[in-house]
Chain A
């Protein structure tokens, strides 16, 4: 289908890192069923490095592809780098998304941020609150 780039279709048809991590160090879930997309990210973190990442997604083709690409982009990277991952970077790595599908890449960025917030909170690591400010509000507002 011409709706999506070849890269989106590749990640949609053959998603990388699908699944759960039973003993995950951090989990982040965003989106809701009413809007039609939910993303859940599981992280294994050792010495501040994301050693493993898995995702589960309920959503459209671009939501699944965005999750897959986002996990690829943070796997093996330090937590600080994962925190900087932007939705734009996810979309660009997929050779672009249609305008009305950009929110899928936003969900991917936010799912990762939410998982990292979980990691900081669980481990009592001090963090800059501004990075996560408005995370939940933003997620809700995408579908207003």
Chain B
């Protein structure tokens, strides 16, 4: 059996997106900045895509800036808000400890430039409280940035409520919605969002394209200088094929959110229940306030990379928050932020599904994860130390 369970990393490009992209490359390959008819036809397609994206997000077309993906959009949003703040001598930012690195590393850079960042603590269930954000906001706060849905543990944040607090305090509010758009309901107007980042390949669009929504009135700073594309805010000839592919995939994904959630949630919950029967295991993140397709578990006494490699041998493709898979020596900052000890974070497994996952596949995952965990525990000195009482169990 083959199961791709790493949709939070990337999704398969939808057929409709591929068809739409091919059509653009064949028919409207012109440069939208050109004055002639070929260029202007491309311009029409570009602006048509912007209108559709705006309608799907609940904003105006001119509030959309196309970017190379979620990371660029996050960088641009945060750097812009920081510069706007600095002009008014406001150099404090509120964020959380479990943001994506595109946000965290941008904040680190700003800290070196003299900004102060409050990283609000994340409770064990992986859902930040509105009160903790409210308490962190100061007179000199120039930005609040909180992700919509966490990329590892899938937990959904109280975005509309945080947005309302930011409105009340008159602080711009950015959300990294890379994992959320196309999976849960997102509407920037209704949810009081001033800036939002998204990435196409998380909802069956192509890689290398995303967008930043920034509410009218927020001055954006260029990351890339050059031509006057994107109202002069993002230079470089527009990748219209990718933009159209993104919007096509977004329309499809947004249209089917409820239908897909109805398919996924019972399967997700059955998988969580099945894997929770493995002794000394735990679900990471709130059982209900989470993305419909996200399951993240930790198994004590095993290490995530070994687990992934053996599951891959059995046709199950997943990911882990272990240090060995992160390329650094520390395990997932997300799991550490929700209070998991290092070794529990090393033994984590993230399974993220698409709506087409079957009950047979879920059964297969439950059975095989159980077998592989048992196999690895039977060669783990850490496991034996716990079983024999020389070390305490955490879970």
**A residues with CB within 8 A of B:** 1, 9, 12-13, 15, 18-19, 29, 33-40, 55-61, 63-64, 100-101, 143
Contact = CB atoms under 8 A, between A and B. Distances in A.
A34 B342 contact: yes
Interface string B278-304: 000000000000000000000001111
Contact of A1 (B301, B309, B324): B309
Given A29-B381, A36-B323, A100-B327, A59 B306 contact: yes
Nearest to A20: B384
A13 B329 contact: no
Contact of B379 (A29, A57, A101): A57
B382 A60 contact: no
Contact of B303 (A9, A36, A100): A36
Interface of B: 301-306, 309-310, 312-313, 322-324, 327, 329, 331, 341-343, 346, 379-384, 391
Nearest to B382: A58
B324 A60 contact: yes
6 contacts: A12-B309, A29-B381, A34-B342, A35-B329, A60-B303, A64-B379
A60 B301 contact: no
B312 A1 contact: yes
A87 to B, nearest CB: 17
B329 A60 contact: no
Contacts of B380: 38, 56-58
A18 to B, nearest CB: 5
A12 B308 CA distance: 12
A58 B331 contact: no
A38 B329 contact: no
Nearest to A12: B309
A10 B38 CA distance: 57
A38 B382 contact: yes
Contacts of B303: 36-37, 58-60, 63
A143 B329 contact: yes
A56 B322 contact: no
Q: Which of B380, B383, B384 has the most chain A CB atoms closer than 10 A to its own CB?
A: B380
Given A13-B313, A60-B322, A61-B306, 19 more contacts: A9-B309, A12-B309, A33-B391, A35-B323, A36-B303, A36-B342, A36-B346, A38-B382, A39-B381, A40-B381, A56-B384, A57-B381, A58-B380, A59-B303, A59-B306, A63-B306, A64-B306, A64-B379, A100-B327
A19 B303 CA distance: 17
Contacts of A55: 379
B379 A61 contact: no
A33 B343 CA distance: 5
Contacts of B346: 33, 36
A12 B312 contact: no
A135 B306 CA distance: 26
Nearest to B394: A33
A35 to B, nearest CB: 7
Nearest to A54: B379
A143 B383 CA distance: 21
Contacts of B306: 12, 59-61, 63-64
Contacts of B341: 34
Given A35-B329, A100-B327, A143-B329, A61 B382 contact: no
B305 A58 contact: no
A38 B379 contact: no
A40 B385 CA distance: 11
B98 to A, nearest CB: 20
A36 B301 contact: no
Contacts of A37: 303
A39 B385 CA distance: 12
A49 to B, nearest CB: 25
Contacts of A57: 379-381
Given A58-B302, A60-B324, A33 B312 contact: no
Contacts of B384: 56
A139 B273 CA distance: 39
Contacts of A18: 379
A60 B305 contact: yes
Nearest to A56: B381
A56 B313 CA distance: 21
